[in-house]
Structure 1
Amino acid sequence: MAACRLMGISRATRYRRGAPPRARKAPVPQKERPQPAALTEQERARIEAFLIDEEYADLSVSQVFYRALDKGVYIASESSWHRVARAGKLNGDRRALATHKPSVIPELCASRPNQVWSWDITVLRSVDRGRNFRLYVILDVFSRYVVGWRLEPNERTFEAIDMITDALAREQTKPEVLHADRGSAMTSIDMNRFLAKLGITQSHSRPRVSNDNPFSEAQFKTMKYVLDYPRHFNDIEHARDWTTGFINSYNTEHRHSGIGYYTPESVHNGSWLALRQQRQAVLDAAWAAHPQRHRQRSRAHTIHTESWINNPQQRADRLEKLSQTG
């Protein structure tokens, strides 16, 4: 101790310097450490096989995951499927993704099918310059189910009235509200008289506000972003044939992210409840087989209780946050 004081060092330093250094293992990077809950190579290969399968090759990762789940196949969580897809470069963009008086904000709530419908018209391009087709579509706001559609060379009110009449006959009921934008066919005198006679309330988007009709706009985008969507149609029969196939697939096969990844048809007719029980049984079996891979039991999605166009509570919450940050 006296020698240490004379040298100006501590006793611990003296012993440490006199002892040979202990061998230490090189640090192992986190990504190279063993992960007990990691997917096996066989499981990764199964996921990749689903993603590149001819039946699913044109679908998004979420669509493939839920279609496999509906067939009773659970390999890993949806986020794990996305990680495997990213690692294998099996995901990515598909296409290149464009002063008045205040108007009344439409506030519509649907708590069941056939309560609120929305409809809109979109243009389908023809191979002939200056000659396009008009696709009319009626969508149920709650279930996202296409209850009626029509494809014609022009936008005319009587075509829209015929489409609505056919949809009412098929559904054997009428909606309380029919929402649309402010196109000429939607706001014409003939349309006003037709809906008034049926006792259906009209609702219209604000001028130049595209998200006042969000469900119809989203459905059109879904249609035009599928991989086999023709940029130009040869003639009106070609357009009608393609649209028939798409609408059938959309209603009965497309797992819609806005309704718990169930099909619009299953939500419209109520059969999604049985499908949810089936999904839950598959998830429970997956939990029982590999509980270490889950922080908690997975729950099959349920659907919303309400579908809103411009929910006033959400708008009030956004304004409150803006006032607090300002």
Structure 2
Amino acid sequence: MTRSTWRAWQAATVDDLTPHTGGGTACELVGRSRATHHRQTHPKPKVFGPHPKPKHPAELSAAEREQILAVLNSDDYANSSVAQVWACELDEGRYWCSQRTMYRILAAAGQGGERRRQATHPPRAIPELVAEAPNVVWSWDITKLAGPARGIWYHAYVVLDIFSRYALGWRVEAVEDGRLATDLIADIIATQGTPPGWLHADGGAAMTSKPLSSLLADLDITRSHTRPRTSNDNPYSEAQFKTMKYTPDYPARFDSIGHARAWMEEFMTWYNHEHRHSRIGLHTPASVHYGTAHDIRAARQATLDAAWLAHPERFNRRPTPPRLPERVTINDPAKRLPEPETQKA
């Protein structure tokens, strides 16, 4: 006997015994809950949808709401706010409702918006950059370094190649200035011997300054900027700054600008030539930038092959070193969501 059949038998037996023993005794004899039996034999009617809200005794009638809306839309109050309409009507000896209710009536009629024209800004374009080799896309930013006293800050300018993560150049200054940034970019281009295709940065004053804009225009370098309040649009510079500031010997405060420059010199040397970067196959940025990483990876593979041949039981398959980057992106265009198709008229 199934559970549903058993419950049906219990209900029928209780109904048969009730005239002779009473409902409570019948349920006890059968082993059925009295509350369950009552609930199933006297079900409440089902109400579909939300329960109707009882009308409040102070609620305005439809006619009163229409009358108030007509007052608000009258020519006399075409240029008046709700508060002014309420006050003027009160001065005339007429009280319609509270100011808040007037706002509700206007909102229900679709008239609660701003009447003045509001300035609108088109959405910022998403920067989409792709680098398949060094010196294609450079990213740069400025970060603050705490000085010897509260309120004193130094500014570290750092330019990075996003493909190799190589710090192409840097400087520490007491101010954030477009001319200083321009000089830094020009010196890096002279050192590298070639300008990049793209220079990516945020929308700060130094990044959008006229001296830098003129330099980039003269060298035919395309500018790219992040969207406001979107740090993920400049991920490589942000990640490099985090690596720098999470270094164990990073000072809580620098004693002087000379101290900051000396520390940065030591850190950048380590970062470019000793730091094995996890996102570039655990090679140093300098090795990837100047093309020696492929030979180093081949040597790593030879060492792993020798270990594999000596002890194959220690490996599930032939070990290989981490791969080198082939394609580095900022907001990868290949992952862009397709735009919705517009319906043809």
- Report the TM-score when normalising by structure 1: 0.65
Q: Supply the distance in 2 between the matched residues of 1:213 and 1:315 (Cα, whole angstroms).
A: 17
Q: Supply the distance in 1 between the matched residues of 2:330 and 2:198 (Cα, whole angstroms).
A: 12
Give the CA deviation at 1:218: 0.5
Q: Which residue of 1 aligns with 2:299?
A: 278
Higher relative contact order structure (alpha carbons within 8 Å, sequence separation ≥ 6): 1
- The 3-state SS of whatever aligns with 1:186 is coil
- Equivalences for residues 1-326 of structure 1 within 5 A: 101-316=122-337
CA RMSD of superposed structures (Å): 1.7
- The 3-state SS of whatever aligns with 1:285 is helix
Q: Which residue of 2 aligns with 1:79?
A: none
Give the CA deviation at 1:101: 3.9
Which amino acid in the other structure matches residue 179 of structure 1?
H
Instruction: Give unpaired runs (5+ residues) of structure 2.
Output: 1-119, 340-345
Q: Supply the distance in 1 between the matched residues of 2:297 and 2:205 (Cα, whole angstroms).
A: 42
Q: Supply the distance in 1 between the matched residues of 2:286 and 2:209 (Cα, whole angstroms).
A: 31
Q: Supply the distance in 1 between the matched residues of 2:321 and 2:148 (Cα, whole angstroms).
A: 45
Q: Supply the distance in 1 between the matched residues of 2:138 and 2:169 (Cα, whole angstroms).
A: 10
Which amino acid in the other structure matches residue 123 of structure 1?
K
Answer yes or no: is the 8 Å Cα contact 2:178–2:210 preserved in 1: no
Answer yes or no: is the 8 Å Cα contact 2:148–2:255 preserved in 1: yes
Give the CA deviation at 1:100: 6.0
Instruction: Give unpaired runs (5+ residues) of structure 1.
Output: 1-98, 320-326
Report Cα offsets for 1:191-223 as digits up to 9, x if no partner. Answer: 212211121110000111001000111001011
Q: Supply the distance in 1 between the matched residues of 2:168 and 2:155 (Cα, whole angstroms).
A: 17
Sequence identity percentage: 53
Give the CA deviation at 1:109: 0.5
- The 3-state SS of whatever aligns with 1:316 is coil
Q: Supply the distance in 2 between the matched residues of 1:126 and 1:306 (Cα, whole angstroms).
A: 39
Q: Supply the distance in 2 between the matched residues of 1:287 and 1:228 (Cα, whole angstroms).
A: 39
Q: Supply the distance in 2 between the matched residues of 1:248 and 1:115 (Cα, whole angstroms).
A: 22
Answer yes or no: is the 8 Å Cα contact 2:139–2:234 preserved in 1: yes
Give the CA deviation at 1:314: 2.6
Q: Supply the distance in 2 between the matched residues of 1:310 and 1:127 (Cα, whole angstroms).
A: 38
Which amino acid in the other structure matches residue 217 of structure 2?
A
- The 3-state SS of whatever aligns with 1:122 is strand
Give the CA deviation at 1:118: 0.6
Give the CA deviation at 1:112: 0.7
Which amino acid in the other structure matches residue 314 of structure 1?
K
- Report the TM-score when normalising by structure 2: 0.62
- The 3-state SS of whatever aligns with 2:206 is helix
Which of structures 1 and 2 has the bigger CA Rg? Answer: 2
Report Cα offsets for 1:158-194 as digits up to 9, x if no partner. Answer: 1101100110111111101100000100012222122
